[in-house]
Amino acid sequence: MTATMNVLPKTQRAWIVERRGVPAKALTLRSDWPVPSILKPGDVLVRVQAAALNPVGYKLMKILPNFAHSGRPLPAEQDLAGEIVDGNGSQFSAGDQVFGIIPVIRQGSLAQYVSMPADNLVLRPPHISPVQAAGISLVAETAYEGLIDIGKLEAGQSVLVNGGSSAVGAYAIQIAKAKGAKVVATASAKNEAFVRKMGADEFIDYTKAPLHEYLAANPPTPKFHIILDAVALTDISLYTSSPAYLVPNGIFLSTGPMPKNLSPSELWKIATTVYSAYLRPGWFGGVKRRYKYAAPSKLLPMLTQL
Hey, how many other C-beta atoms are within 10 angstroms of the C-beta on 5? 16
Do 229 and 163 meet the contact criterion of CB atoms below 8 Å apart?
yes
Strand partners, 15: 29
What per-residue confidence (pLDDT) applies to 288? 83
Q: What is the pLDDT along the chain (306 residues), one digit of tens a residue?
A: 555 566 899 999 999 998 888 889 999 999 999 999 999 999 999 999 999 988 778 777 877 766 555 567 889 999 999 999 999 999 999 999 999 998 776 668 999 999 999 999 999 999 999 999 999 988 999 999 999 999 999 999 999 999 999 999 999 999 999 999 999 999 999 999 999 999 999 999 999 999 999 999 999 999 999 999 998 877 889 999 999 999 999 999 998 766 666 677 766 677 777 767 666 656 455 678 888 887 776 555 566 665
Contact 23/58 with Cβ under 8 angstroms? yes
Closest to 114 (Cα-Cα) out of 54, 60, 62, 40: 40
Q: Would you state the pLDDT for residue 293? A: 83
> What is the Rg, in whole angstroms, of the alpha carbon atoms belonging to the chain?
21
User: Closest by alpha carbon to 37, among 73, 56, 9, 16?
Assistant: 9
Determine contact, residues 180/201, Cβ cutoff 8 Å: no
pLDDT at residue 15 in the model: 95
